[in-house]
Amino acid sequence: METVKFTKMSEGTRADYDLATADDKVNAAELPNRVLRWLRSMDGPSVYQVTRLQHSLQTATRAERDGADEETVVCALLHDIGDVLAPTNHSQVAAAMLRPYVSEQNCWVIEHHGLFQGYYYFHYYDKNPDERDRYKEHPYYQACVDFCHRWDQTSFDPDYATESLEHFEPAVRRILGRAPRPFV
Identity of residue 124:
Y
- Each residue's pLDDT, cut to its tens digit, for the chain (184 residues) gives 899 999 999 999 999 998 998 898 888 889 999 999 999 999 999 999 999 999 999 999 999 999 999 999 999 999 999 998 899 999 999 999 999 999 999 999 999 999 999 999 999 999 999 999 999 999 999 999 999 999 999 999 999 999 999 999 999 999 999 988 876 5
CA atoms within 13 A on the CB side of 177: 9
Cα angle 178-20-18, degrees, rounded to a multiple of 5 = 95
Enumerate the domain spans of the chain: 13-176
Q: Domain 13-176: give its CATH code.
A: 1.10.3210.10
- What residues contact 124, with CB distance under 8 A and at least 6 apart? none
User: Residue 109 has what pLDDT?
Assistant: 98
User: Residue 184 has what pLDDT?
Assistant: 55
Report the phi/psi class of residue 74: left, alpha or beta, with left for phi > 0 and alpha for psi in -120 to 50.
alpha
User: Residue 182 has what pLDDT?
Assistant: 76
User: Residue 85 has what pLDDT?
Assistant: 87
Whether residue 26 contacts residue 34, with contact meaning beta carbons closer than 8 Å, is answered with no
How far, in Å, CA of 21 to CA of 19, rounded? 5
Taking only Cα atoms into account, the Rg of the chain, rounded to an integer number of angstroms, comes to 19
